[in-house]
């Protein structure tokens, strides 16, 4: 049976939601669609709490490996006879996966995938203006990174109820023993890490995003968006115009030259909806736009639009949400 390895980076005792999304997808491919005959292993980089470990085990994994750092996953991913090696898109995987793919003969890598059916992957091209379907037909290993928020998270207990009861899942837990003796690749040295002033949920993982554009006029006005974000449990993003004007940090930029996001809800405040901005958020499930110009292009992509002054609309919206 083909084997699949999912690479999970842990932080603060937990793994990211995007990993539960992938595990949900794999579980339903194995049981419901009965399309894919593969067994899944998971390697956890870093530590998870006992509670998190139990939750992870409900996803029918064969073996859970524990690794201290990403580099020690290397021998497992390269020599473990895996047909698929998968992970959510992240800054570290963007560097790690292509290097792994170079280390394996006949490997293929596909990045930023939004669907996987066991035999094909789909990935957006031209900033989402087309979707490609790529068959996975070769004998070699496939290295695949998945865009967060592409799949829903299963209620796993409900799933087991509907699919033949809670199977006694027999997951082995092992430490990765092979240590990367000598790293085949030259490594750069990290001189210093500059921590963000305020740590925020990563934009590409966020389930709800509130973004502000040029209409925010200054840095201080972003506070209004922070307030809206607080009631919604959202992360704050920005357009390039807002970033270039210094109202928002570069890490907050959504769009072609910023982050690609795909949240359940994207609230665009005073953003016109330029094609380069749409490129970064058009796959959001629901787009909610607030703009004073009834002809702003953002309205043609929005599921719900309010034509009005954002300085008036947002405070009223916050009030209504709190009610």
Partner 1 sequence: MNIYVCVKQVPDTETKVVLESDGKAINTSAIKWVVNPYDEYAIELAMQIKDRLQGAPNVIVIRVGESNPTVEVLRTAMAMGADEAIHVELPKYTLLDPTITAKALEAAIKKFAKPVDLILAGKQSIDADNSQVPQMLAARMGLECATAIGSYKVVEGSEMASGVMEVTRDLDGGSSEVLSVRLPALLSCNKGLNTPRYPSLPGIMKAKKKPLTKYTMGDLGLEQVALDSDYAQMSLVLPPEKAPGKKVVMESDNPTQQKEMMKQAVEFLRSEAKVI
Ligand X SMILES: Cc1cc2nc3c(=O)[nH]c(=O)nc-3n(C[C@H](O)[C@H](O)[C@H](O)COP(=O)(O)OP(=O)(O)OC[C@H]3O[C@@H](n4cnc5c(N)ncnc54)[C@H](O)[C@@H]3O)c2cc1C
Under rule CB under 8 A, which residues in 68-97 are in contact with partner 1? Answer: 90-91, 94-95, 97
**Taking CB under 8 A as the rule, does residue 191 contact partner 1?**
yes
Please name the residue that has the structure tokens 């005792």.
13
Of these partners, ligand X, partner 1, none, which one is at the site of residue 201 (CB under 5 to 8 Å by kind)?
partner 1
CA atoms of 42 and 58, how far apart (whole Å): 12
CA atoms of 209 and 238, how far apart (whole Å): 10
**Taking CB under 8 A as the rule, does residue 1 contact partner 1?**
no
Burial class (CB in 10 A: 0-12, 13-18, 19+), 109: middle
Per CB under 8 A, the list member of 105, 158, 182, 195 interacting with partner 1 is: 195
Instruction: Give yes or no for a contact between 77 and 85, defined as CB atoms under 8 angstroms apart.
Output: yes
183 contact partners, CB below 8 Å, separation of at least 6: 71, 74
Q: Site mask, partner 1, residues 117-136, x = CB under 8 A?
A: -------xxxxxxxxxxxxx
**Taking CB under 8 A as the rule, does residue 13 contact partner 1?**
no
Q: Which is nearer to ligand X, 45 or 243 (CB)?
A: 243
Instruction: Give yes or no for a contact between 124 and 284, defined as CB atoms under 8 angstroms apart.
Output: no
Of these partners, ligand X, partner 1, none, which one is at the site of residue 214 (CB under 5 to 8 Å by kind)?
ligand X
Task: Give the number of other CB atoms < 10 A from CB of residue 171.
Answer: 16
Per CB under 8 A, the list member of 154, 208, 241, 268 interacting with partner 1 is: 208
**Taking CB under 8 A as the rule, does residue 239 contact partner 1?**
no
- Tokens read off for 157: 């207990």
CA atoms of 211 and 284, how far apart (whole Å): 13
The rounded Cα 27 to chain-centroid distance in angstroms is 18
Nearest to 211 by CA among 130, 302, 148: 302
Per CB under 8 A, the list member of 81, 168, 199, 220 interacting with partner 1 is: 199
Q: Which is nearer to ligand X, 61 or 289 (CB)?
A: 289
Residues that contact partner 1, how many (by CB under 8 A): 88
Q: Which is nearer to ligand X, 249 or 274 (CB)?
A: 274
Region for 261 from its dihedrals, namely left if φ exceeds 0, alpha if ψ lies in -120 to 50, beta otherwise:
beta
Per CB under 8 A, the list member of 77, 101, 210, 224 interacting with partner 1 is: 101
Q: Under the rule (CB under 6 A), what is the footprint of ligand X? A: 213-215, 239-242, 253, 255-258, 270-272, 274, 276-277, 280, 290-293, 296, 309-311
**Taking CB under 8 A as the rule, does residue 275 contact partner 1?**
yes
Of these partners, partner 1, ligand X, none, which one is at the site of residue 199 (CB under 5 to 8 Å by kind)?
partner 1
């Amino acid at each position: 049976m083909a084997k699949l390895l999912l690479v999970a980076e842990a932080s603060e005792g937990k793994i990211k939601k995007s990993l539960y999304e992938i595990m949900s997808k794999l579980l339903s491919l194995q049981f419901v669609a009965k399309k894919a005959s593969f067994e899944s292993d998971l390697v956890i980089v870093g530590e998870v709490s006992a509670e998190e470990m139990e939750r992870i085990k409900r996803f029918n994994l064969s073996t859970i490996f524990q690794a201290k750092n990403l580099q020690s996953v290397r021998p497992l991913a390269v020599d473990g006879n895996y047909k698929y090696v998968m992970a959510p898109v992240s800054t570290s995987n963007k560097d790690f996966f292509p290097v792994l793919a170079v280390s394996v003969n006949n490997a293929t890598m596909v990045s930023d995938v939004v669907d996987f059916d066991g035999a094909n992957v789909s990935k957006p091209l031209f900033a989402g203006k087309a979707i490609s379907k790529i068959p996975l037909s070769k004998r070699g290993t496939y290295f695949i990174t998945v865009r967060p928020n592409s799949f829903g998270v299963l209620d796993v207990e409900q799933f087991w109820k509907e699919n033949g009861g809670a199977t006694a899942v027999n997951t082995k837990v092992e430490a990765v023993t092979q240590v990367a003796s000598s790293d085949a690749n030259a490594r750069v040295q990290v001189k210093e890490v500059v921590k963000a002033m305020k740590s925020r949920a990563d934009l590409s993982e966020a389930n709800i995003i509130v973004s502000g554009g040029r209409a925010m006029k200054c840095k201080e006005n972003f506070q209004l968006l922070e307030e809206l974000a607080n009631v919604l449990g959202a992360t704050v993003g920005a357009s390039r115009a807002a970033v270039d004007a210094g109202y928002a940090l570069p890490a907050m930029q959504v769009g072609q030259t910023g982050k690609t996001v795909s949240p359940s809800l994207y609230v665009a405040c005073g953003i016109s909806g330029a094609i380069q901005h749409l490129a970064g958020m058009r796959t959001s499930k629901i787009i909610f736009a607030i703009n004073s110009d009834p002809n702003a292009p953002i309205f043609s992509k929005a599921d719900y639009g309010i034509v009005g002054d954002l300085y008036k609309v947002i405070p009223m919206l916050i009030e209504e949400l709190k009610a």
